[in-house]
Every structure is written in structure tokens, then in C-alpha cells.
Amino acid sequence: MSKDEVATALEEIAILLALQGENAFKIRAYENAARTISSLDRNLAEMVADGSLGEVRGIGEALLEKISTLVTTGSLPYLEELKAAVPAGLIQMLRLPGIGPKKVKLIHDELGITTIVDLKNACIADKVAHLKGFGAKTQTKILEGIAFLDTVGQRVRIDLAWPLGQRLLAQIKAFPGVIRAELCGSLRRRRETAKDLDILCSADDAGPIMAAFVHLPEVLQVVGHGETKSSIVAALMLDGTKVVLNADLRVVKDPGFPFALAYFTGSKEHNIRLRQRAIERGLGLNEYALSGKQSVACKTEADIYKALDLDYVEPEMREDTGEVEAAEKHQLPKLIEAADIRGVFHNHSTWSDGAASIEEMANAAKALGFEYFGIGDHSQSLAFAGGLTPERVKLQWAEIDALNQKLKGIRIFKGTECDILEDGSLDFDDDLLAGFDYVVASVHTFFHLPEAKQTERVCKALTNPHVTMLGHATGRLLLRRDGYRIDLEQVIRTAATHKKMIEINAQPSRLDLDWHWVKRAKAEGVTIVINPDAHSPGELALFTYGVDVARRGWLTKADVFNTRTLNAVIKSLSR
DNA sequence: GCCGTTTTCGGCCCGACTGTTTTCAGTCG
């Protein structure tokens, strides 16, 4: 069983225990273990085998045994027993806003309800309002929640959440009396998806700001309206997609702004580490202050970290995956920035399934400030995407040569996104591949292969001397489709051995390689390349989402190939 | 269920808001 599968199993245990009314700290132990396992940067099976898993913080005797069983046998009797004891419908109920494990348990124990449908009927029959701790409002809230179940509370991709967040933020900044305002939460940490928007502002008088917030034009529903905190459901149409997200606004006094900013940026796990650190120093940290016998004045977040004897941690690294330790030892990397990117390689034109000519794409790349730009249209077997035959490849090369004569200030590279065939061979023969400046090797077919076969297939492609980089390593589509099953550990090692790069595909629906694995790839010495996989001029700008992933994966400018100068890239590709 | 220079028991981050309650539990982040 893979790391992610083990983590999912542990999360499931935590949820099932909560529904049984177990001790909250026991539940947290499972939640923590799930997170710890998914962010391990070593092979889990190896750690089970050599016993080093038991040395990991948060993994004690009981968890070690359960994880070992999961890894070696692929299942866990304890989990199966829990599942058998808890109806699946109860887990669905947890998605209802304002409804947690305690209330779900009561609904089940008192009314024998096991499905959402039964719950809805019980609410309509006015049975739920009479439960202890429930009332008419809770019952109404449950019914509203069921009606919204399919639209609200779902995670949303960052490229959709970000514009909605910015739109709300801009209006809040314009409210009279607002001194400072910022997007916090997972959006500030640049997670690939968001469940809600956390917005913070400072002002002397919170009342008018709360009132104005719940009346913004994007408000679909007011969930809460307190003195300093309000929650809304906000909606916005973006390119034909209706984006619906919960948004919370908190108002604090301006001197407390840095504390609140740190607090609401999270992650929760990172905050807990900071607070524990404050306690060790005889201080207390919350969203208002860092204080002991007297409060420690902090003008910025950096001051807070300094007061805790830590270097400043960029929001993207605040996941409690080693950043606190690194900040203590002054070993945090200086993260790459969008401005460091000098060009991109994996892009499409009308030669295959793109929407614009090579010239239009190249000019758009130049307008973004890029020095070089690579076309990597599809290869022949991908007929549905207009894959190029060898004959058309040569015609395309001639066009690129002509454009390189004509255009100034941007160099176009001849590339291909060459399909990896089922057996791991490539879709063009070696002679043709040798004629490209670079080759992106990608999987677009046979997603269903068993993990070992898929891994062997991709690793074989990586041994081809003409391959430069691996495209979208898992084929995942965020919130829509899991990636194909593949042992990324082995893929990364193979890439390292054969000196191949791995792409961070910056399409917001992909963001593949995932940041957890980016960290791992860096540790193995693999060079990363950030590509927008642009199918139109406008999509070139998506590369910044790839930079976000790189930052979450702790990459510096030096770790990323396309931060290099044109001359350095030419030199490297001609080897 | 985990952890330990306060070490094998008794803690485990903490505050806002809501809805239910006459002082608080549950939920959320």
C-alpha cells in the first residue's frame, strides 16, 4: 500500500472514531499520523522494513503496528471493523455545515438515521429539532445544507478561488476605516485547491465593516455575522464557471494585524508548532499577541518568528514538514520567484491541439518577458490531439527556423511532447528525436496499467538518451481524476540516475508533479522545469501556478532549469 | 493514541460564533 493510501486509511479511522464518540486526542493522533505519513520524504515500505518509522514523531507503538499491517498486507482488520460498525451515510453528514461528529452520532443513536435521505425526511417531519442540543434553527440549517451539498463546501482550484478572493479583498480594502487587509489561509500558502477564503483586515471599528461585508454583491448567503467575524457563501462567474466558496472575514485592531495574519495563514499544524515554541519560551501566542509577563511588540510576521528564534518562513512552506527545524538552524532555502523564470518549454500551437500559431505564442512569451520559448506539440500516435507525423515535424522545424530569423528578442526552441507508448518506447524513432532541441516525454494513454507496469513503462522512457524531461508525471486532474498508479519514488530515482528533468506542469487542473514529490525530487538531485503546457497565448501566464508549487516544494532558483539564461539553456540542450 | 529535563500519568492550541442553553457544548479554522 502506498503512502497516500495509508494516509487515507488513517484519516478514515480518525473520522470513524469521531463518529463513535472516541477521545478527541486519540482522533487527533490518527489525523496527525495521516499527515505525517503523507509528507514523509522516504519510501514508507523501506521505513517499515528497517524499523525507522517507529522513530518518527507522532508514530507510537499502536500506530506503528497498524501502519505496518497496512503497508505489508494492504488492509487492516481494525479499519474494517470500524467501517462495519459505522454506516457510510454518517460520513456524508459530516459535510453539512455546522454539523460535526457529535451531532451526527446523536442523530444516529437517537433516531436510527443512517443516510442523508433519511435525515432530510426526519427534518421535514420535525423530528430532529427535538433532539438534545438541537433546535429549530439547527434543523433548518441541516435542510439548507442538504440542498447546497453539491455546490457549497467543495474544494475549488486555486485559479478559480484566487480571482474570487482578490475581488472580495479589493472591495474590503476600499471599505472606510480599513487599515490593512490580506488574503490568508490556504490561498496565501498557495495550496492547489481551496475549501474557503480567509480574509483578514485591521480597523478601529469592526461593526461597519462586518455590515458592509455581508452585503457585498458576491454574497449568496450569510452564514454568520458576528462582531469581529462574519462568514458568507460567495459566488462569481469566471469564464463560464460558477465559483462558489465560503468566505470568512475577521477584523482585528491594527497592532494585532501581524499576529492575526500569521494565525489565519496557518497551516494549523505550523501554528501549533509556533505556539508550542512560544510556550517553551514562557510566552503565549494567539491571533492577538505574543505575550508573557509583558507582550512582545511585533510589527511584522518576521518579528514574530524572530521572537521565537526562527528565521522568517514563507507562507508556502508553513506546513510543518520540517520548516520549523530548518528555520531554527538558518537552513531555509531562498525560494524561487516568478520573476526568475526566463522561458518555458512545454507548449502547444495550431500544429497540434493549440489555439494559436507558433508566432503568436512566441510573441506572447516575449511580452511576458521571456528570453526563450519552446514548442512541444503532440506526437503522431495522439491523433485526437492532432499529433504531428514525422513529415509535419520537419515542416514545423522549417517554420521555427524562419521565425527565429524574423523575430527579435525571443528564441524559439524545437521541442515535442512525445507520447510514451504502452511498452515504454517513444512515439518517434531515435533519428527524428535527435533532431529536436529537447523532448518532453508524457503519458496520455493506458492509464489503467498496474502500478508496476506503469512504473516500468515510464522509467524505460526515461532511459532513452533523447528524452530531456518527463511531462505531467501522474496525469492527475485535480478534483476530477486521480493520477495513474505509479511508483514516483522509483521514477524520481530513475530520472536522477539518467539525468532527466521532471516537469512541474503548471496547468491549474494538473499541478503535477505535486509539491510533496517536488521536495523529494530535489532531495534526489533531479532538476525541475516549470511548464505552463499552454494551449493559447493567455495560458502562458499560468506558469506562475507552477512557481507556487515549486515554492511549496522548497525549490530555489538554482533548482529550476528554466531560470537559466538563454546561453546556458542552449549549452545544456546541445549536450 | 502520543509523549516525557514537569517522564509511565496527565496533559494534549485556542478563540469566535452559533444555537442551545440559564452557563455551555459543538463546530470551525
Q: How far is the CA of A229 from the C1' of B16 (A)?
A: 7
* pTM score of the predicted model: 0.83
Q: Taking the C1' atom of B12, which residue's CA lies nearest?
A: A25
Q: How far is the CA of A287 from the C1' of B12 (A)?
A: 20
Least Cα distance to A551 among A323, A328, A343 occurs for: A323
- Going by pLDDT thresholds of 50, 70 and 90, the confidence category of residue A88 is confident
Q: Taking the C1' atom of B1, which residue's CA lies nearest?
A: A26
Predicted pLDDT of residue A575:
67
Distances in whole angstroms, Cα of residue A518 to Cα of each of A47, A280, A318, A521: 20, 33, 16, 5
Distances in whole angstroms, Cα of residue A121 to Cα of each of A13, A113, A146: 29, 10, 11
> Which positions in strand B are less than 7 Å from the protein's CB atoms?
1-3, 11-21, 25-29
Higher per-residue confidence, A498 vs A294: A498
pLDDT of A153 above 70: no
**Burial class (CB within 10 angstroms; exposed 0-12, middle 13-18, buried 19+) of A9:** buried
Q: Which nucleotide lies closest to A131 by the C1' atom and the CA atom?
A: B20
Q: Taking the C1' atom of B25, which residue's CA lies nearest?
A: A133
Q: Which nucleotide lies closest to A129 by the C1' atom and the CA atom?
A: B20
Predicted pLDDT of residue A24:
87
Q: How far is the CA of A138 from the C1' of B25 (A)?
A: 14
% of chain A exceeding 70 in pLDDT: 99
Mean pLDDT score across all residues of chain A: 92
Average pLDDT over residues A66-90: 92
Q: Taking the C1' atom of B14, which residue's CA lies nearest?
A: A286
CA dist., res. A162 & res. A220, Å (int): 18
Written as nine digits, the cell of A380 is: 503522431
Written as nine digits, the cell of A507 is: 496547468
Q: How far is the CA of A21 from the C1' of B1 (A)?
A: 15
Q: Residue ranges of the alpha helices (H) in A368-508?
A: 390-406, 430-434, 451-462, 488-497
Q: How far is the CA of A292 from the C1' of B6 (A)?
A: 19
Q: Tens of pLDDT along A283-311?
A: 888 888 888 777 888 899 999 999 999 99
Average pLDDT over residues A341-353: 95
What one-letter code names the amino acid at A514?
D
CA dist., res. A479 & res. A481, Å (int): 6
Distances in whole angstroms, Cα of residue A144 to Cα of each of A18, A88, A154, A311, A441: 24, 21, 15, 46, 48
Predicted pLDDT of residue A464:
96
- Going by pLDDT thresholds of 50, 70 and 90, the confidence category of residue A204 is very high
Q: How far is the CA of A342 from the C1' of B5 (A)?
A: 52
What's phi and psi for A156, nearest 5 deg? -130, 140
CA dist., res. A458 & res. A380, Å (int): 18
pLDDT of A462 above 90: yes
